[in-house]
Amino acid sequence: MGRGEGARPLRRRPQTLTRRDADARVRPWTASSTPREQRIGLSFHEFRLSPRAGRVGSKIEQHPSLELFSFEVGPALSEKEIEEAEASFGTRLPAPLRQLYRTLGSATLQWCFTAGLDAQRRRLISEHHPDLIPDHSLFDGSIGIASLEDMLFNDEFTPPQVESGETVDFAGVDDDTDELSRMVRHFDAMDDWFAMSFIVQPERADRKMMLFGDHWIEHDHSRVTYLENYLRYVIATWGLVEARRGLFEEYRGDPLEPLRYSPEIAAAHIPTTLTATQPPVR
C-alpha cells in the first residue's frame, strides 16, 4: 500500500487514555526500593512466552553498552473490559490477544547503545515527551504495545483511508485499498516510521501480523507472523528495532509462509554488542 495522494505521515501521536484513570493506567519504570528482579521481571514475565523473558529488562539495565530510558507497563484488563471492547468493535478477539491483554494493558520500552549517544541525541531524547510516539532512530530498542482501546478505536492506529478505487494484492488476494485499510490495526508502535500491525480477519481463529513502514502505511515489504511468534522475537532480540526490520522486512513477503519463531533465526539478528558480555535472552 503506497502512501498515495491524500495520505499523511503519522508522526508523534499522543496515546489516548483508556477507561482507567491515567495515573493508574501506567506503572513507570523508576528507581525504587522494590527489588529489581521483582520490579522488572514481573512486568516482562507477563508476556508469558518464556521463563527467561522476565529478565530482559534487568539485562538491558545492567548491560555496560546500553542505557535504559523508559520502561512502562499498563495494568492488565479485566474480562469485562475486554468483552466491552469486543462488543464495541463487533468481533471477538483471538485467544492469544485476549490472553496478552489479560496480563498487561500496554507496554513501552526504550533504550540506546551508549556508543551512539552524542550530545545532540541526548538532547533530543531529553526533549521527547513520554506520551508521544518517538521519532525514527531516536531509540535503538523500542517497544510500543498499544492499549486495546487505542488499537481498536483510535483512528491514529489505522492507515489513512484513501478511496482510490484501486486494488492491492495482499497474500495472493486482491483487496480494495480502502478495505485493507479498515482491516489493519497497529499494535506495536516502534517509532513514527515502523509499526507491527494486525490484519483483522474475523473468520480466522488467529490474526496475521505484518510490519508497516513509511509512517505506518506501506505493507508490501513484510513477512507475516503471529502474535506469540512476534513477541518471542521481540524478547529474544531485546526490542531492537533493526532486528525486527531484519526479521520481517522483505518485499512481497506476505504470500510466503508465516515466519515462526526460531532461536537460531533470532540469534542471527542479535548484534555482538549485546552478546559479548552476556548470553542472549531467550
DSSP string, 170-218: ETTEEEEHHHHHHHEEEEEE-SSS-EEEEE--TTSSS--EEEEBTTTTB
Cell numbers describing residue 201: 480477519
Helix (H) or strand (E) holding 150: helix 148-153
φ, ψ for residue 107, nearest 5 deg: -155, 140
* pLDDT in the model for residue 28: 33
Sorted by sequence, the CB contacts under 8 Å of residue 254 that are 6+ apart come out as 170, 171, 210, 219, 220, 222, 223, 224
The whole-angstrom separation of Cα 228 and Cα 236 is 12
Sign of CA dihedral 141, 147, 150, 153: positive
- The pLDDT assigned to 166 comes to 58
Residues in the chain predicted with pLDDT less than 70, given as ranges, are 1-55, 161-180, 277-282
pLDDT number for residue 68: 92
Residues 35 and 14: their CA atoms lie apart, in Å, by 31
Q: What domains can be seen in the chain, in order of their start residue?
A: 25-275 (3.40.1580.10)
